[in-house]
Amino acid sequence: MADVPVAVMSLETALARDGAEADVSAEPLTDAERIWQVVARIPSGRVCSYGQVAELAGLVRRARLVGRILSRLPEGSRLPWHRVVNARGELSLPAQSEGARLQRSRLESEGICFLRGRISLAHYRWDGEG
């Protein structure tokens, strides 16, 4: 396992359920893995749009793919999916759903403020650095 890049090991750890063994391989990254790696790097207190995640993953104009991949995360995943919002700074989950309440709660606990249901992307957007 010494040849496996640390970034991939961190990704596998983030995707694994608590206490589960991570299966790390040396295969080229899939689109899903590239998306997961970007999402794993979004710092607490910052957000990205689906389109921005796609672009940072090298999948330009594939915002819908990002949404599809994140919707299929295994239960118990530690990937910070809640930091991905739509291009207007809104949550994309149905407004009164449990998922939307969870996402909003997690974002607010990280210090992100909502104004009329939106997040200021000018203030909270992650630039992909650091």
Instruction: Quote the pLDDT of residue 130.
Output: 78
C-alpha to C-alpha distance for 37 and 9, rounded to whole angstroms: 10
Instruction: Quote the pLDDT of residue 27.
Output: 83
Long-range contacts of 112-117 (CB under 8 A, 24+ apart): 112/45, 112/47, 117/90, 117/91
DSSP state of 16: S
Instruction: Quote the pLDDT of residue 20.
Output: 55
pLDDT tens track, the chain, 130 positions: 333 333 444 556 566 655 555 555 678 999 999 999 999 999 999 999 999 999 999 999 999 999 999 999 998 899 999 999 999 999 999 999 999 999 999 999 999 999 999 999 999 999 999 7
Would you say 55 and 83 are in contact if contact means Cβ atoms under 8 Å apart? no
Would you say 126 and 47 are in contact if contact means Cβ atoms under 8 Å apart? yes
